[in-house]
Amino acid sequence: MAAHVAVPTALSEAAPFSVLVTRRLPHSAMRILSTSGLCEVQQWDSDESMPHAELLSRAPGIHAILCLLSDYIDKEVLDAAGPNLKVISTLSVGYDHIAIEECKKRNIRVGNTPDVLTDATAEITVALLLATARRLFEAAAEVKSGGWSTWKPMWMCGQGLSNSTVGIVGLGKIGCGVAERLKPFGVKKFLYCGRHPKPDKADRLGADFVPLPTLLAESDFVVLCCSLTPETAGMVNEDAFRKMKNSAIFINTSRGAMVDQDALYSALQEGQIAAAGLDVTTPEPLPTDHPLLSLKNCVVLPHIGSATVATRITMSILTAENILAGLRDQPMPAEVLLH
């Protein structure tokens, strides 16, 4: 079991603040905290998640928590931390794992890592779409299993992007990044939906704003790129899959909780849609006996959207800088606005 260690800090005896880091991080990020002279760092020295009970036991008196999206910073943790807690910084864009309303009540500032992972996540979205549409994982498995016998005209045929319609649910930075990368493949039309039109982005991409049902019905590829909110939780459900074309490819690199996975399994098994590619699931990790993993037309990745070396280091540094700025009562480089 991982040890919970204190990281040596410059001027540690004089450091007025204690910081709890819930995972092993790149040295560059830890160095920012440990050499600041501002804080004493306690780190869960493991690549695996800190058990929730351990988090609760270490929270009392803590001034700041640096966490990951798999750490649930709920009311119980905030109560355990007590009034000293000033700032929470998460190494992720999403912050649905943090009790935001409770933070607002307690004047706890929250930081995240937007923008810096846009390119990496857009890249993995396109890679997953291509791998799913062209059946790359399935074809590679046939090579290894001996299923490749001879060249056959229709064997392992998938779907191409040329002259297709791509529907993007959520035309934010990542959604735009996906569209920009797909455009050179000869996509005929981009559709998008969201809370409101984004004419500047849409004009640049040649994308049309449509209601979600229209997007689902007309798209050859449906790509989920929006944030998880109470409104989007479970939004891709049985009814949504029924609206899609039988030939549609569904891609999700946002959050697993936006998809009814039982409905997705049924849609894939029954041929309501052609295939799905997921980088996010509920839960994470997905159990190895989960029904989705038994399907040849479902590609599941282990939430690696931001997993480039440069991106993860940049995210870690930003997360550490958010912590120090919050402790100093200064503007944070990336702060979640708690309205």
Q: Which residues contact 149 (CB under 8 A, 6 or more apart)?
A: none
The Cα-based distances of 56 to 65, 66, 112 in angstroms read 12, 14, 22
What is the distance between the alpha carbons of residues 143 and 80, in angstroms, rounded to a whole number? Answer: 54
Q: Where are the beta strands (DSSP E) in the chain?
A: 4-7, 17-21, 39-44, 64-67, 87-90, 109-111, 165-169, 189-193, 207-209, 221-224, 249-252, 275-278, 298-300
d(CA 291, CA 247): 21
From the CB of residue 29, how many other CB atoms can be counted at a distance below 10 Å? Answer: 23
> What DSSP state is assigned to residue 310?
H
Angle between helix axes 118-133 and 136-145 (nearest 10 degrees) is: 60
110 backbone dihedrals φ, ψ, rounded to 5°: -125, 130
Region label for 107, one of left (φ > 0), alpha (ψ between -120 and 50) or beta (otherwise): left
CA angle 94, 89, 311 (to 5 degrees): 65
- Strand bridging mode 39-44 / 87-90: unpaired
Segments in 146-282 forming alpha helices (H):
173-182, 199-205, 212-218, 238-243, 261-269
Annotated catalytic residue within 4, 63, 196, 303: 303
3-state SS assignment for residue 106: helix
Unique residue bearing structure tokens 């309501």: 272
Is 303 among the catalytic positions? yes
- Distance (Å) of CA 85 to CA 11, 101, 208: 21, 15, 45
Instruction: Report how far residue 173's alpha carbon sits from residue 262's, in angstroms, rounded to the nearest whole number.
Output: 29
- Catalytic residue positions, numbered: 303
